[in-house]
Amino acid sequence: MTTHRIGLVVPSSNVTVETEMPAILARHPSADFSFHSTRMRMHTVSPAGLAAMNAQRERCVMEIADASPEVILYACLVAVMVGGPGEHRRVESAVAEQLATGGSEALVRSSAGALAEGLRALGARRVALVTPYLKPLAQQVVEYLEAEGFEIADWRALEVSDNNEVGCIPGEQVMAAARSLDLSDVDALVLSCCVQMPSLSLIEPAEQEFGIPVLSAATAGAYSILRSLGLDVSIDGAGSLLRARATV
């Protein structure tokens, strides 16, 4: 079985993406994966903290390129979305250009772009969100997705600014926020609009409870990685997005 090498560019205080992404892709029926991370210093999820983190991008990209990954995921959704509409395209293009200059042929994806990709794959137009962010940052996420053509029917911000604490938000709190949403005529629910807020174990139960497709930044990232590699996107136990029976 082929082993595909995946690079992750993550905030220094993030632990969830390095837990949930391997857990998802370990279930793939026909491929193996290894995961290799590089870290950008960040503790407080604020405009200043995110700007300081993004300033470290070039160093981190070249460090992870040394591991010769096939795909690199820029795994901080809000850090990209605060850059304004279409920022994930600019970031992915800039990283790809930097890699090519350094002789790397790695493919580039971002959590921000992957979420939009996943929602489109589900045919979702009217969407609800649960985010861990302070309300001003959550509003920027809403506006970013609206600029991508989605209608955000309702959203919740749990208002946790410490990124270490985001990684410890209880599932019960995430589900309570989801239950408080107006899900009338909603096409999909983004249960965790952040790769640091844990939600993988909640995806399937939430789909059963709410009767709509449920995804997260992590499941969308896994979907985008699989598509970029031309692999089957069928993964058990990770929601509707990863139940497709062939590469879309």
Residues 39 and 14: their CA atoms lie apart, in Å, by 9
Residues 173 and 157: their CA atoms lie apart, in Å, by 11
Active site residue 193: no
φ/ψ of 243, rounded to 5, equals -105, 5
Q: How far is CA 184 from CA 25, 96, 148, 220, in A?
A: 32, 40, 21, 23
φ/ψ of 110, rounded to 5, equals -130, 155
For residue 39, give the DSSP letter.
E
- Residues making up the annotated binding site for substrate are 14, 76-78, 133, 163, 195-196
- Residues making up the annotated binding site are 14, 76-78, 133, 163, 195-196
Catalytic-labelled residue, pool 60, 168, 193, 194? 194
Active site residue 76: yes
Catalytic-labelled residue, pool 60, 76, 168, 193? 76
Sign of the Cα pseudo-torsion (10, 93, 6, 244, in order): positive
Instruction: Give me the active site residues, please.
Output: 76, 194
